[in-house]
Chains A and B, each alone.
Chain A
Amino acid sequence: MQISFILNGRPTTVDVEPATLVAELLRERLSLTGTHIGCDTSQCGACVVHLNGLPVKSCTLLAPALMGATLLTIEGLQGAPGSNRMHPMQEAFREHHGLQCGFCTPGMLMTAVALAAEKPNLTEADVRHGLEGNICRCTGYQNIVVSVMAGAAAMNAGNGE
């Protein structure tokens, strides 16, 4: 079936089998391999993308759900539109060593950005709870939590300008 949607700001149309996961569509057809697949039970969160602004697991989303929707993947995450700068959340992860092997990172970032957008003043407990659907095996989460809090603060400071 033919599906038209906005992918990282660009109108996109693809012809796919309905039995296609959005994660597969992104990785195999659209060469956007930043969205990762870390499990088969919707637990790990490495594949989180934003569908109409909300965090969703693209490994548990069928391609027809994209019809008319707006999809943001890690490749589309950036600072001010048109700038070459990274998003404040990406900057925060770099600054606070919030990643090691990098595999869970795209999903962590997408979840973190949605979390910070939803609630302005995140506490440590908010962040830890908000990351319950994203598993990281490398960092022990400590620097991820620090990064998310710093990134959220930077996002909100940016919004206030």
Chain B
Amino acid sequence: MKPFAYHQPDQIADAAKLLTSIEDSKLVAGGMTLIPTLKQRLASPVALVDLTRLGDLSGITDGGDTVTIGAMTPHALVAASKLLQTKIPGLAALASMIGDPAVRSRGTIGGSVANNDPAADYPAGVLGLGATIITSTREIAADKFFLGLFETALEPSEIITAIRFPVPTKAGYAKFKAPASRYALVGVFVAKFADGVRVAVTGAGSGVFRVAPMEAALSGNFDASAIAAIKIDADGLTSDIHAEADYRAHLVTVMAKRAVGAALS
């Protein structure tokens, strides 16, 4: 690693100020993506701004028809949350499938969502549930947040503080793990609300995306059979040594069916 300065502000405003005032500074939450990048010398920020000292950013709160998860909440806490297991079990299940136990101890929801890795799990949950990303300056709807490969709507000095999830009638996540990395080769989150169904896919393309035909079909009939015949266009999907694009396209349908199954179980 190349050397860097280290800041541990205890106020959000201070953290934002550091980000603006130090060119080439980076936020670090759990560090599950940033630290490997630093180790491989692929990034060399001048300073890191560590968010762990900001109180209040970790925790899960019940808002009745919403659940809000603090940005610094580690995956393990989300997976084990009784509140989520009752209200949005699909999201708790998603968290339990991220990485491995050690990653779940450290990795945070805010870090994962801000990073927007095309194969990360949380973006599917956030987009699939139509959550709201709460930042140091504003609130952003999930539909406007994820902008493609590692790109989000966040401004350079903007910091995610929490994510607010509406409580669905039913929701489920199905993940086909890349056997080596354990990231999602394809992951599909399905959520049913009173006014319709949302389907979000991660792993398959350059960023998380929704599948309108599946949403329409499931809104009419929330059953796996409703989408069994819906095929996804392989154009634009990822092809690599683990999975070709048409196979990923096929897996989207399979995982969507299984996500519906999980939601109904």
Contacts and interface: CB of A to CB of B under 8 A. Distances in A.
Do A and B touch directly, given a CB cutoff of 8 Å in the complex? Answer: yes
A132 B36 contact: no
Interface in A107-135: 111, 114-115, 130, 132-134
B35 interface: yes
A62 B5 contact: no
For B2, B100, B181, the residue with the greatest tally of chain A CB atoms inside 10 Å of its CB is B100
A146 interface: no
A11 B15 CA distance: 30
Interface residues of A, number: 31
B32 A60 contact: yes
Interface stretch (B101-109, B121-129, B188-196): B101-109
Contacts of B76: 54
A155 interface: no
Given A56-B105, A60-B106, A133-B102, A1 B39 contact: no
Contacts of B106: 51, 56-57, 60-61
Nearest to B48: A18
Which of under 10, 10 to 19, 20 to 34, or 35 or more describes the interface residues of B? 20 to 34
A62 B100 contact: no
A61 B6 contact: no
B6 A65 contact: no
A21 B4 CA distance: 13
B52 interface: yes
Given A111-B102, A133-B100, A133-B103, A19 B38 contact: yes
Interface of B: 1-6, 8, 28, 31-32, 35-36, 38-40, 48, 50, 52, 76, 99-103, 105-106, 180-182
25 contacts: A17-B3, A18-B3, A19-B3, A19-B38, A40-B36, A41-B36, A42-B35, A43-B181, A54-B105, A56-B102, A57-B102, A57-B106, A60-B106, A64-B50, A65-B31, A67-B8, A111-B101, A114-B101, A130-B101, A132-B101, A132-B182, A133-B99, A133-B101, A133-B102, A133-B182
Given A40-B39, A65-B50, A132-B101, 14 more contacts: A17-B3, A18-B4, A19-B3, A40-B36, A40-B40, A42-B103, A51-B106, A56-B102, A57-B102, A57-B103, A59-B39, A64-B6, A111-B102, A115-B101
